[in-house]
Amino acid sequence: MGVEIGSKLEGKVTGITKFGAFVELPGGATGLVHISEIADTFVKDIHQFLKVGDVVTVKVLSLREGKIGLSIKKAKEQERPPRSPRERGEGFEDKLNRFLKESEERQSTRKKNTEKRGRHR
């Protein structure tokens, strides 16, 4: 399997810096896992998560000018439902309708809470 954007590959950590880890991929190519792509939590010290020689599964994020951008955390992610309106393919009318519905629900809840407080005084 070649190195293509979106592909998941196994590689070996060959070096660690303060900004990320270098991973050797099948075929001899080396890519970088940026510190922000190592784990779902805040990573202050990469050595707490990886060491040279570790075999990791990575997802190829980018291929630019001979540089390969990799992610460990995205390789672990399961297929998830779209989170943002743009990911859901939601148009302006859909967004507006959803906003109006949510706004009406919030206003209704506030009104009920205000009425309850008013009766007890």
pLDDT tens readout for residues 15-42: 999 999 999 999 899 999 999 999 989 9
Rounded Cα distance between 87 and 40, Å, is 20
59-82 mean pLDDT: 85
- What pLDDT is stored for residue 81 in this prediction? 62
- What pLDDT is stored for residue 31 in this prediction? 95
* Core vs surface per residue 79-89: b (16+ CB within 10 A) or e: eeeeeeeeeee
43-56 mean pLDDT: 94
Q: pLDDT above 90 covers what percent of the chain?
A: 50
For residue 112, pLDDT beyond 90: no
For residue 4, pLDDT beyond 90: no
For residue 3, pLDDT beyond 70: yes
For residue 118, pLDDT beyond 90: no
C-beta separation of 9 from 56 below 8 A = no
Q: Where are the domains of the chain?
A: 8-76, 85-119
For residue 89, pLDDT beyond 90: no
User: Options 2.40.50.140, 3.40.50.450, 1.10.357.10, 3.40.50.720; which CATH number does 8-76 get?
Assistant: 2.40.50.140
